[in-house]
Amino acid sequence: MVTHASAQMTAGRLPLVVGNWKMNGTRVTSVELLAALRSAGPFDAEVSVCCPFPYLVDVALSLQGSGIAWGAQDCSQHEPGAYTGEVAASMLAEFGCRHVIVGHSERRTHHAESDTLVADKARQALAHGLTPIVCVGETRAERDAGSTEAVVKRQMSAVIHALGHCVSQIVVAYEPIWAIGTGLTATPQQAQALHAVLRAQLAAASTRAGEMRLLYGGSVNAANAAELFAQVDIDGALVGGASLKEADFSAICRAASHAALGSTGKSRT
């Protein structure tokens, strides 16, 4: 029998925990939060913080040399040019960003971002050395209608079509929209079922799908993280509200570290 830990060690998937601050924080509270996070580490999982654009300098200075990565919550699908209010992937790269979130449900909903647009943003991120964290997920109505799998596969298909074999270089975050900020969470079994669907879809496009990290997002907290990370295809989390509280976020990072070490006590790196 292959355990979760041994299966992921074979694939070389180090867990990844990403904090999505959304439009929260001040310069003072952000620096204080990062100082506390540094003190809580180091972690045996990869950790990254995606902050609002104005705080990138502070975050970069605060986290430099800490082993914790940083990134942004969106980028433009365009190269630099006459696009007022937009931020290019190349600009994010200048600030040392490792990750950028694209296709978050709040962008899809509030800014009418299409599957194609999200795919174009992912392609732009890769072109400038960033790792896009591509979000997919269904609404409550879509789940109730039994169309969850079709919706998520459609969203993922656009990215696969745009990136081709380079799709193996992205991170995917499955975030059921009905669970984001609601306190509701997909059961570990529900989350695993969708992650398995996504990995199978990616495997049809890339021989490296087994190495790709698939994250779960949607009211992840210190209480449910360990059980979610115990699922064979869940390789970490995209964390919203809990990432604004050092104690909660650190606990999630420690849960990912425990998953990384596994029952053998050896790291998956």
Q: Judge residue 247's burial from the number of C-beta atoms within 10 Å of its C-beta, 0-12 exposed, 13-18 middle, 19 or more buried.
A: exposed
What is the pairing mode between strands 16-20 and 236-239?
Answer: parallel
In 68-176, which ranges are E strands? 69-72, 99-102, 131-136, 171-174
What 8-state DSSP symbol labels residue 215?
Answer: E
Whether omega before 15 lies within 30 degrees of 0, making that bond cis, reads: no
Answer whether 249's CB lies under 8 Å from 36's CB: no
Residue 79 known to be catalytic: no
Which of 43, 68, 40, 49 lies closest to 239, judged by CA? 49
What 8-state DSSP symbol labels residue 196?
Answer: H
Query: Which of 46, 99, 104, 106 is the catalytic position?
Result: 104
Tokens at 263, concatenated:
């029952």
Query: Which of 113, 138, 142, 175 is the catalytic position?
Result: 175
Range 144-179 burial, b when 16+ CB lie within 10 A, else e = eeeebbebbbebbebbbebbeeebbbbbbbbbbbbb
Residue 161 known to be catalytic: no
What residues are annotated to the active site? 104, 175
